[in-house]
Structure 1
Amino acid sequence: MSSPGPTLQQTEVADITLTVTAVLITSLRLCIRVRQKRLGIDDAWVALGMVFDFLLLISDCLYLQDYERYPQNTRIALYYMIAQFFYGVVWSSKLSMLFTIVRLTIPGKFRRFLMCAVGTFGAIWALLFSQLWWICETQPNWKSQPHPQCDLGRRVAITQMITDVLADFFLIVAPFFLIYKVRLSRSQKVRILSVFSTSAITTIVSLTHAYYIFAGGGLKEVMAAIVEASMSLIVANLSVVVAFIFRLSSDDDSPSNPTPIITFGGQHRTRMAATRVAVETTTIVLEDLSESRLRSMKTSDDDEIILHNNRERKQTKEWC
């Protein structure tokens, strides 16, 4: 016996709660990057995803609650807006994560490979955008329903499952190649990889969403789409927000309890004393390597382990 689906009120509450959470986390990430003067392409994509998520919230509320006051054509338009804004949130978030990996990678073959992956992600988004119109416009009977919802069927569900799983798998595996030959402790590597491995969360949610598409849609499908969109945006921000939290935690620690911290695209501003004898805090800074060449030429007293450090020239050459 199948479990009863969520009510309209429950769906709206979940939508508002998750969207507000995702928007707040994204705003925090952007504030961090502005404060560090490190805004990049990955931040632009996540900001676009936030805009899509906010528009998705408005469209959902109009579609779910106030649809009876609108003419039928407006209801159909709202459905199409929801479906396309959903794709906008999910794939803007994935592109943001991919560009975060790109900015941490030195110029070379691997970065060119990542840029090819960017083009592939964009092509997948265009395919899903177009597929929705192909499916829904070839079976127009759904447009006459009081609460119109297109039966996307197997083709859309299978396409979403394959593309989401492959894209998330790539976003999990790519960082392994990024830090494979970096001289970090095992715990430090685990910490970095665990941040990027949160893409697995969106994989689980996307599979659930695809299942409800198979099962015939309804409010369960709408709820699963809302959760997937918001979780995709939240996960895309974790690499920056978690690094910021670790930095604050490290700043609060006493000298007798040093804690290694990891920052993604940030700047380490702490100056060491000139007569310091012992190193008590190690900072692992994953910087935007497109700007690394100028920084690597100047002398610094900071105790930093940087992926592009000239002291690791042999390792860097192996990456290229």
Structure 2
Amino acid sequence: MSGILHPSIVGLRVSVTIVHTCTIVLTSWRLWYKIIQQRWWWEDVWAATALAAVITSGVSVWIFSGTPMDSKPWDGPIIAYWLIMISFTIGLWSSRLSMMCSIVRLSPPTRIRTVACCSAAAFGAIAIALLIHKCWFCARNHDWEEIAPLSCSLASSVGITQVIADFLSDMTLVVLPAQILHQVKLPRNQRILFLSVFSGSLMTTLLSIVHVVFFIQADPILKILTAQLEMAFSVIVCDLLPIVTCLYKVLRSRDLDLSHRRYPTESMFLTTFVDIPSSDSHATAELKFIT
């Protein structure tokens, strides 16, 4: 790969810092918003876990890149590399678990909720399996810790397995919300809004494919950069549902206030909430759109 297209250490640091800062701000706001709204649930626990992984990963990237790539690795970069690898898997799959928990909470007590619960369990199992395999392989082969540039080169089959898992999980995060919309009466604009939020997870699959390309090529800088972008984007997507819902409510409230001021006595406006029917008391937290 040409040096023009290959990012430098400074480029890696700047890119990761900008992307992770945006992710940290959005996720922190999302958690603060859910706390003050008293709607904290399992999806927020996983979002907080993903936030911790993003922070850990960002700091580790700076430590890892603090030593020239062609110099002999020492304990600091080695530990940082381990943290980057572990936090990537935790952050990526925690964000997906957060989205799946949102689907569980919003789904009616039908077969969809059962499938969503099973999918959440599968997500957790996949994350644990990938994490154990990566740690086992890199811990068993210590030669990579003595070679510059520092990089634990996993088998290409691991990357392919990861892409397949990413694709299936992201498709699940799109198909299940689409099935929920079939059982709920929502205006067309709200249906598009709801489905678009979850469809953003498909972009994570595209980033995953790019990441695996450099994963197989064993390019340390591009492998870390694409992994950080994939994880950060996945966390941002899991934050979109509460953020977009809040913005939607604010904008709709302003429209209603403007209408009341324009027609104070001639018209009467009715504000209702569209809820997804569910036996779960938390099941209507996000789909309470003002109509």
TM range (shorter): 0.7 to 0.9
CA distance in 1, matches of 2:51, 2:181: 29
The one-letter code sitting in structure 1 at the alignment partner of 2:227 is: A
Secondary structure in 1 matching 2:274: strand
**Alignment gaps of 5+ in structure 1:** 259-274, 294-301, 306-320
Contact 2:107–2:113 (CA under 8 A) maintained in structure 1: yes
Residue 120 (str. 1) matches residue 110 (str. 2): no
TM-fit CA distance, 1:286: 5.1
Q: Residue in 2 aligned with 1:191? A: 193
CA distance in 2, matches of 1:233, 1:132: 21
Contact 1:153–1:213 (CA under 8 A) maintained in structure 2: no
Contact 2:109–2:278 (CA under 8 A) maintained in structure 1: no
Contact 1:26–1:50 (CA under 8 A) maintained in structure 2: yes
The one-letter code sitting in structure 2 at the alignment partner of 1:290 is: D
Residue 80 (str. 1) matches residue 82 (str. 2): yes
Pick closer, same or farther for the CA change 1:289–1:45 going to 2, 3 Å: farther
TM-fit CA distance, 1:116: 1.1
Pick closer, same or farther for the CA change 1:70–1:19 going to 2, 3 Å: farther
- Identical positions, percent: 28
Q: Residue in 2 aligned with 1:154? A: 156
Secondary structure in 1 matching 2:115: helix
Provide TM-score, normalisation by structure 1: 0.79
Show the 5 A alignment for 1:171-250.
171-250=173-252
TM-fit CA distance, 1:172: 0.7
Q: Residue in 2 aligned with 1:38? A: 39
CA distance in 1, matches of 2:64, 2:278: 42
Pick closer, same or farther for the CA change 1:143–1:164 going to 2, 3 Å: same
The one-letter code sitting in structure 2 at the alignment partner of 1:107 is: P
TM-fit CA distance, 1:29: 0.8
Pick closer, same or farther for the CA change 1:202–1:289 going to 2, 3 Å: farther
Q: Residue in 1 aligned with 2:99? A: 97
CA distance in 1, matches of 2:289, 2:121: 37
Q: Residue in 1 aligned with 2:57? A: 56
Pick closer, same or farther for the CA change 1:303–1:198 going to 2, 3 Å: closer
The one-letter code sitting in structure 2 at the alignment partner of 1:23 is: I
Q: Residue in 2 aligned with 1:291? A: 281
CA distance in 2, matches of 1:71, 1:277: 73
Pick closer, same or farther for the CA change 1:73–1:65 going to 2, 3 Å: closer
**Alignment gaps of 5+ in structure 2:** none
CA distance in 2, matches of 1:289, 1:304: 22
- Which digits, 9 at most, give the CA deviation of each residue in 1:95-146, with x for residues without a partner? 0000011111233332222111111111100111012123324543211124
TM-fit CA distance, 1:76: 2.3
TM-fit CA distance, 1:195: 1.2
Secondary structure in 2 matching 1:291: coil
Contact 1:255–1:280 (CA under 8 A) maintained in structure 2: no
